[in-house]
Structure 1
Amino acid sequence: MRTADRFDMHTCFFEHDPGLALFRRASAEFVGTLFLVLVIVGSGILSRRLASTPELALAVSAMATASALAGLIAALGNVSGGHFNPLITFLQWLGGERNLGCTLAYIAGQFVGGILGALLADALFGSDSATTVSPHALVTLGLSEIVASCGLMILVFGCSRSGRASSGPFAVAAWLMSAIVATPSASYANPAVTVSATFAFGPVALPSGLAILYLPAEVAGALIAFAIIAICYPRVATTVPADYTEESSHE
């Protein structure tokens, strides 16, 4: 897809490098739509359970959804344009800004990612057992930490590798706001926080048994994110001169 070369690649909803392999760009649309729908469904379920009125539930879900979308666009927008919506992709094709093959690949990724995101949210919130210590609850909470940690690492490294490092803190904050609402484990997503929570009191306190479950789940989520980032942001090999030294880089 070379058509978009004539557009400013730093404009929203156009990829930075249209020459990047279509598989990688469509994968970014798949991942972004998956996490977006996960937050939409998960935050809707949890806020409806906990909020005192439907209006409050709607407001909480809306804040979580908007935060997730902002973070995902900041992290993955340079790869694919950050559509996560077939209407954007279709209208770009209709306006001659995207070819048919790219359009179909994007839309396929969006639909498949969205469906899997909804199914994943259903798996996380399919029953109220996550509030107990049943075996099913342990599986659900472990899966929740995998999802939360994976999303967080995608935003951290996606913003860094997209050249939008300055947006990283805002994207991370947006994701955590969303994931705390949209995952049953409340998104610890940080081994240091998880271990510290075993010494804490109050709502964030964790029993040692749950902490032991969360730690490997967080590592697993981070490794999944590492693979996703490797697909979306392939490393470009650089040649370092044989006589390069740390001192010479400052000359």
Structure 2
Amino acid sequence: MPAFKTKTCFFEKDPSVALYRRALSEAVGTLLLVFCVVSAGIEVQRITSNHLAVQAVLAFVTGGVLCGLVVAFGNSSGGHFNPLITALQWLSGDRDIRCTIAYVMSQCAGGVLGALLANFLLSGERPATYPPADLLHLAIAEAITTAGLMIVIFGCMRAQRAMTGPFAVAGWLTAALLAFPTSFMNPAIVLSATWADGIVALPLSRALFLAPAEIVGAVTALAVITAAYPRSKQAATDSLPTDA
């Protein structure tokens, strides 16, 4: 874990806290995020079939829930709830592989459990068929929205603006989901959606197509951030992991 001398967002306040505690925060946070998104999708579909209304509800629920969760768990684990954030921190040398694996596994497990819990409590139905989709356009949109999200997150992080992250992320997610309602921008949510009922449900074949697009978007974002915020040798040394 990083030992930043300047406080920033999406890093835990005390990296010496036991890894299982920090991973638990990631699991619970992702569980609550997916639970709320899937539940909202099931409920709003029961109330209205208006596409714009459904799109708006899911966009604002996702942005609002994530903002609250990042504020709540940010000091504990960094408040990622998204394997892409964790993986890009590892690629940047800011997080070790042991922590990265623990976080990603916790995020995926928490997300699937959140989807199953929403299914159980709301007795949602999984669609028998899915609307036809142009997979190429879906993948391009997924890559662009994911890149935008990662640029917002890592831009706030590199700019060392500790409290801007949650609100910047909520703003981007809300706007992106209103513009591209088919976007997920999070492999843990894509995985969870394959288990979910209601409008959020995603067929496995489509999920396998979206996940690589998210990875492409995330790597592109890392290249942009690296160019926009070049690190000095001292800054890179200060951010090297200091514990396991």
TM-score, normalised to structure 2's length? 0.50
Higher Cα radius of gyration: 1
Which has the bigger relative contact order, CA under 8 A and spacing at least 6?
2
TM-score, normalised to structure 1's length? 0.48
